Every structure is written in C-alpha cells, then in structure tokens.
Structure 1
C-alpha cells in the first residue's frame, strides 16, 4: 500500500448526499477481484446514460481529470460493504475524500486501501466545496502529519484522525503489512513451536 503523508492536488466537488457503494461502482463491475481497471466503472450511472453516452460529470471535466481529492456530501459510502468501492476510487487516482460523514464499513475500507477519509463539520465541507468549484485552481493540500487542510487561499482547517490509522497510512501499512512488520516475532514463535510441539 502506498504511503500517505502530504498531498497537494486538485479537489473535485461532488455535492450529493447518500452516495452509496452501488453508485460508486455498480454491481456489473464486481466480477473481478483485481484492483486495477475498476476506474471505468467508477460512478458509472452518474457518468453515462442508458445508451452508454457520456453525461456531464465533474471527474470527466478537463479541470478535474487529475483530481486526487473528492469533496462530497453526507453519508458517503453507505449501502453494501463492497470493497470494490475504494478500489475503484483509488484506481481513478482519488487518495482523499472529504465529507461530513461516512458509512462505517466504507470508512474502514478506505484506510485499508490507502485512501484518507476526512470527516468535517458541514460548514467546513461547504467552504472546501466552494474551493473545489474553482476548476483547475481548486488545489488543496492535505497534510496528514499536521492534520491540516490548506485551501487555495491559504486558509487552514484542522481534522481529527485515529492515531493508529494515521500511523498505518503514513507508513503504508495495510493488514498484511501490519502482519509482516511482526515477521521476526512470528518466525521466532514458529521455531519455538516446532521444538515444543514437533508433532504439530
């Protein structure tokens, strides 16, 4: 998993509430366990009509093609617990999502996949949504170490994050990485077990 420390990138505004995981990536794109290629299904029904023609959608606008930050509405990631949702966002280059609130399972899945979800009061999200509406000038810096967001005009907003999750993101540790970090202790345990329980 890639480390997350400080990100300066274009922020895209998506001012919708209750975006569920089926809106993030519809069920027809869940036939793979690969984490790549899923960006083509990201927000598919918001991006295309029933005939497959492109609709106006913020992430397809030239100013937001390289957006890595998404500023969105309340209860983001609700619905089913599909892990493909953060996979699709990450495959599209989204590394940080800012919203008033998140569904619990989606929120946890973000951390396990290298995405930083930041929950802020509505009035602060509104300010960042306004900043994100500036197109190519919508550049925001997210500093995880300082736990600060800096807007295009230099104003800062502080955010809270669990210390353990912060440690994992800053060091690029997913569940497997956390286990492998204890590799020497695991090897030592296995050697002791071989001696004390050779039949096992």
Structure 2
C-alpha cells in the first residue's frame, strides 16, 4: 500500500516561510516530509527539488563526518532565493540502513574503513534507499517537472525510473571540512558522485 498524505502546516524558518506536509505509510507507520515554498498554485515551470535522506547526526547534531547538514541548509537557501522549491525529507537514516547500523558503520570508519566497505563488512548494502514515495509526494504538490538538486547520478536515474520528469540537475557542493574529506572522496570515487576538480576549493 503506498504512502498517504496526512496533513500540512505553515513552518516559519530562518530561511523563510515554508509549508510542511507529512505523508505516512499506513502499514509500517513510516513518515516522510515535504518542505515546500511557493507552491500555492500549481507550478507551470520546473521546480527546484532536493531528495534529502534523514541524517540525525548531520542535520540535528551538526556532525562534521558528512556534508548532510550543510546540504540541507544550502538547499533551503536556494529555495528561498528562487522563491519556489521542495525538499522531500525521507526517513531513510544512514542511506537506508537505520541509525543503529549507521553508528556501527561509523565505528568501522573510525578504524580506517570507508563508508562503502563499512556497510559491506556489516553485510549491508552500500545504499539501501528507495524512492517510490517521491512521485506520490510530488504529485500531491502538483509538481510535474523537476530541477533536481543533487550530485548523485543514482538519484537522477531512480527518479526518472519512477516516472518523474527530471529536466535538469543543480549541483550542491558545500560542507567540506577536514573530518569528511575521505567521505567525500569515497562518494566521488566509489559511488560516482558528480564532483568536479575544483569543487569545494574555497570551502
């Protein structure tokens, strides 16, 4: 059974006034959120969209082990400046392996293993996320065409395979620091993220 829309509320933030909509899987109780701005009327042009998977450590605790928190804030700024956009905040902690397994993988990373190998050593996939809820959420918001904010080519292909009309990509290169250089290197070299040579040069 697909996820269902539950409720929408206004959400004033430091980046402007958003609407927050919650969707729930009636079988599992799993909840996902759409944070949107400028969609009071059905959009007639492509909309900035980011698919952001939950990262408690980065989004809430400002962890420097990843770039998730800076990406989330930078996206809110992009949407504010554009006056329109959506963040689909998916409750898929740790690329879908859950918080407990994510911290277990962190412990292996502390021993020198990269993010991919740490997951594999736990008999977990490098990326267990799914995106079948995205069309339902975007259809509810009447978003027909998407400018996807991502560096991940797998997200582009995954959304296209779900029937979403992705008409362009907006790169997002923020949040590099001494603690996540290896993490970002792994995303580029082992997960084919679309970073360029000079990305993060001024970070």
TM bucket, shorter chain? under 0.3
Q: TM-score, normalised by structure 2?
A: 0.24
Larger radius of gyration: 1
Q: TM-score, normalised by structure 1?
A: 0.25
More helix by proportion, 1 or 2?
A: 1
